[in-house]
Amino acid sequence: AAGVIQSPRHLIKEKRETATLKCYPIPRHDTVYWYQQGPGQDPQFLISFYEKMQSDKGSIPDRFSAQQFSDYHSELNMSSLELGDSALYFCASSSGLVGYNEQFFGPGTRLTVL
């Protein structure tokens, strides 16, 4: 079965650079979530999109932005990278059916900021 695809899987950037992470949800899933997991931490919700509109916002820095495109894939854009942005970034997708909310997680993108 198709799963959530994230690219790239690994990314190394310098401080103050920009990075773009991509997420391709499971086919027919209309909801995408982004989570950030720092070293030794639990995943923290950043932002979500439902039907290409921003649905909810968590602890996402102003330096980050995201969007969901017409084909439902999503991109997380990160600018002015800081050392503290080094983390595992997960994308998850779900189908926004009432009463069912299983989020399927992608394998994550490991971002290292040097």
Partner 1 sequence: AQKVTQAQTEISVVEKEDVTLDCVYETRDTTYYLFWYKQPPSGELVFLIRRNSFDEQNEISGRYSWNFQKSTSSFNFTITASQVVDSAVYFCALSDALDQTGANNLFFGTGTRLTVIP
Site residues (CB under 8 A) for partner 1, limited to 84-113: 88, 90, 92, 94, 96-105, 107-108, 110
- Given the rule CB under 8 A, which of 14-22, 25-33, 72-80 is the region that contacts partner 1? 25-33
CA distance 23 to 8: 9
CB 108 to partner 1: min, Å? 6
Positions touching partner 1 (CB under 8 A) are 30-31, 33, 35, 41-45, 48-51, 53, 55-56, 58, 88, 90, 92, 94, 96-105, 107-108, 110
